Structure 1
């Protein structure tokens, strides 16, 4: 009768050899799952890099023309106007979108809440031309809001307020949804503790919830600002003038061809890349002491 002695080693010899080879390969682990994830994700990054390299090589071949276009007063004014209009839209979102995000975060699930959340998300799923048409019909001189506001001297057609309103409409879901997620991450019991100490609802919001959600407010503002300054169709439907940067590129593309519009686009890429790099760097320091919550 043959008997087999059970080994006390839970790992078979061939498995131990494979693990040892895996560990000893140049002194570090080779996680093939992560490697393949990087390869698959790198395809998306690679498309962006190829597109940037394509336009960069073409523009850097003629630096004199690039500098002439980049330093022209028309391009500089258009970039500043675009960034300023986007910032104005974000300020309005902070003022009106923050209370809405707080109510959605603290309210219980219901049909009404679902309807409101769906309405907030509508600009995400609409084609840009449809979004621009909605803004135009509402704020044109004979629109429901445009008519009474025009009587007090506030015009939206081919005016800066029209640009700001269009940017506000298309970027609102990015800010509101980000702020709602930030408020939901703050435990409700912390607000309840503040109320037991005599604070009313607004005081608890101002001193507890809002400071702990500053990082989400900042991230939502950056996302909304980026979405706002990149809008074209929604803006051009109501305010072709004054030229924001996307409208200016389209104007030169239709009147002067690809040569000048490509230089303007490359200038915008460089400026936007630098601005958003700085904004992302600032995210590391904003609200880092409240991460423990």
Structure 2
């Protein structure tokens, strides 16, 4: 009996995976439409390419019965020939919020589970990319934020960034599987949910169709620019930790490069959670110097004296003479 032809949506997902399936694959699968379609398409693509594939379901323990959901997803995948493992994580309290803490815990668990030769596939779609760009725009945090999610970073690969969420949902229907619907995806207290349910549909209604695709294109263009600027900044040698950064040297850099160089220098000195506002305050020590005493940042205190900028522990101490 001839094999049943793949439906158009399933074929699109399989082809997206085939474009990156040059190594064994570990698919992160929550059981939702995007990741379930990805896992099953990866199973097909891996068979065609002669590589191994398996799945990992991360149980964050944030909802009652999450362990049951994870076990059910693993059974569903096993019934389709995809071996799966459930990874249980603890999500700590974080000033960045539950979503960010859960993401960090999930990625750490996936990296720990992955074998040395495996790529970790993530099910983010073009819709997710559009949401990410809008959130970055709302934060006003610069080109890198507008660049969205990369197709590949280290062992993490997002093969579905060119596909819409409607296609992954249709692929699940074509494959005859029922995805799990995460109730958190309908919780308006989450900013991303409001963007997905309210902001993007409003933009589509008021500005016309194609907004999500336009935002995804913006991400690609911004990423190219940000990558170049990051490389130019990385080529600039930083002073040794504990040494001052010459004001004249910094002031002579183009603003787009200077901000990146400052961020790298401050991080090396121990600064954390740097925002654009923090960097603007430090930049003012260069081009708007009025004898201000210092700038407090998370983890460090930056002062200007002796023709240089000094980044020192924010613990009160002795500071030398100012310019």
Same fold (TM over 0.5): no
More strand by share: 2
TM-score of Structure 1 vs Structure 2, range by shorter chain: under 0.3
More helix by share: 1
Over alpha carbons, which structure has the higher Rg? 1
Relative to the length of structure 1, the TM-score reads: 0.23
